[in-house]
Amino acid sequence: MMSDSTIMFSSNILSHKESNFGICVSVFAKNLSALRSNITLAKREKPDLIEVRLDYLRNLNRIDSLERTLKLGNILLTFRRFSEGGANGRISESQRVFQISKLLSEVEPDFLDIEIKTLQKHPEILKQIEHSNFTRLIASFHDLEGNSSSDDLLNVVVKAPLQSNSLYAVKVVRLARSFSDNFIPLSLYSRSEFKRRRSPKLIAFCTGEVGKISRVLSVFAGSPLVYCSLLGKPAAAGQPTIKEFKQMIRKIRSMFVT
């Protein structure tokens, strides 16, 4: 059951008539050929950004052959850590970090998503990003067990490189076990740490089917991005297609925004 404060918070989110956000389509595949095809399919949807999930690839030996495809622009590269939802549990952490560093130097993607814990353990990656003067960083954290409170999530967020000029946004994702769980990451948008003049952008929502609504509400709260999927190919549970997302936006606006 939602508390009065939760109901008030959700009402405040929905009172925003205009939301300035971009749509990011996540793509993945087990081999390079299929990944190129999915990137092509995603471009037809005309999103603002395409997230390329490299952790789904089974063979990384020819990953450098993607260089030309990844340099086409509007690309967010993600090589997710296995403990935070990555698909490749066979690669060692040192190999993963090596591949990230290599892609940074060879591709210089528009955006790169790296876990806050990885940045803490490998500060050289942050230095490499900052020296590139091109790649923007999304520092992320994923609680896939759904045990974090709002304060727990905030304690992780403050460990991100908040003062870095290369930081575009902090991304916080929590598994939703119940409907009320949706408002735990969403409550971060009202915290003073994200209301200051030089505060970083915040992308906070829930994963899981129960968490789908938080993805939509997050853009009303101020998220600069919403993650969508190709039809039948979600990269995470609860990830809507662009069509589904736009339908949900229209429905919520018609119900709550006058």
Q: Residue 101 belongs to a domain with what CATH number?
A: 3.20.20.70
Q: Is this structure's pTM higher than 0.85?
A: yes
Gap between the Cα atoms of 217 and 30, Å rounded? 32
What's the chain's Rg over C-alpha atoms?
18
Overall residue count recorded for the chain in this entry: 258
Gap between the Cα atoms of 53 and 122, Å rounded? 20
| pLDDT tens across the length of the chain (258 residues) | 334 333 334 444 444 444 579 999 999 999 999 999 999 999 998 999 999 999 999 887 777 777 777 777 789 999 999 999 999 888 899 999 999 999 888 888 899 999 999 999 999 999 999 998 789 999 999 999 999 999 999 999 999 999 999 999 999 999 999 999 999 999 999 988 887 777 889 999 999 999 999 999 999 999 999 999 998 888 988 899 998 998 888 888 777 655
The identity of residue 29, as a single letter, is: A
Question: How many structural domains are present in the chain?
Answer: 1
Domain membership of residue 52 as a residue range:
4-256
